[in-house]
Amino acid sequence: MNVTWDPKKALWKASKEYMVIFAILILGIVFSIASPYFLTINNMTNILLQATTLSVVAIGQAMVLLTGQMDLSLGQNVCLTGYIMAYLMNILEWNPWVAILAGLLTACMVGAVNGFLFAYCKIPAFIVTLGMQNICKGAAKLITNATPISRLPDEIAFFGRGYLWDAIPISVLIMLFLYVIIQFVSVKTKIGRQFYAVGGNSEAAFFAGINKKAVYLVAFTLAGLFAGISSVILISRLNSANVTNGNLYEFDAMISCVIGGISMTGGKGKVVSSLFGAVFLILFFNGMTMLNVDPFFQDVLKGMVLIAAIGIDVLRNRQKQA
């Protein structure tokens, strides 16, 4: 059977799958023309550093979205984990590596509780993660009465402030490594394919012998883990833990995933696309700041971007169904 290659169809498919990359290029051109400071090395480095912590959280959100659910606790998980690590390092004087391990375990536990309550107790994910968001926020404030913890040990400085050959941020390399690993897991492994199966058609996945509850539990636990890793990078870069760390990361990560082509209904999209979505989001608001756009208006724009991204996802799903 001969299969003819249609360049128009191939171009149309590529434009849909990599639309966010085209959007990043267009934004870069527009902002570089509008502001002479946009394309400077310092600003490009700043964009990469900001995108790093968000994109790591977006990995976890992407894994949950693939199963057809969402995690609204990720941002406050970042905040709580950072406070715990900083408290153990500075106040209790624990070994920094032990403190980091304790923080990552806490982040995983938060995700695992979310997954357990949703999968095994049948509480809607929206309610569970929204409640966990407030639990993490309150717990973070209780640890030190919402007082920032600064001047963290030098041993962790390289995570957020280290450079390879004085040019490439270590945090960017960590982010890229994580994306390579998770993209391989999501596409080439059994558990990765189960994420897509459960998100695409949970009933069919059940009759195919897939343990849906276990898949949900793994997805939420992984989301917690990546929130913890993001927190390590963030407190290292800022050299402090603060109640504002990770603020609204769960929504920014969701926007990043949807802009990147991951469907809110589950079972569609590539995890690596969330990276491009995060870069687009950071690039967009960095450019707005360069143009002196009112920060409050930027919040309005962020809400509009979220609605537009979800609207595009709805239209995309309708086209596929048609």
Which of 118, 103, 108 minimizes the C-alpha distance to 74?
Answer: 108
* Crossing angle of helices 295-321 and 273-290, rounded to 10°: 150
Q: What is the DSSP string of 140-171?
A: HHHHHTT--EE---GGGHHHHH-EETTTEEHH
Q: Is 63 in contact with 182 (CB distance < 8 Å)?
A: yes
Q: Which two tokens stand for residue 67?
A: 């199963």
Q: What is the pLDDT of residue 209?
A: 82
Q: Is 142 in contact with 217 (CB distance < 8 Å)?
A: no
Spatial separation of the C-alpha atoms in residues 115 and 150, rounded to whole Å: 32
pLDDT single digits (tens) 242-259 = 888 888 889 889 888 888
pTM for the structure as a whole: 0.89
Q: What is the pLDDT of residue 12?
A: 53
pLDDT single digits (tens) 275-306 = 888 988 888 888 888 888 888 888 888 788 77
Q: What are the structural domain ranges in the chain? A: 43-321
As a CATH number, domain 43-321 is: 1.10.3470
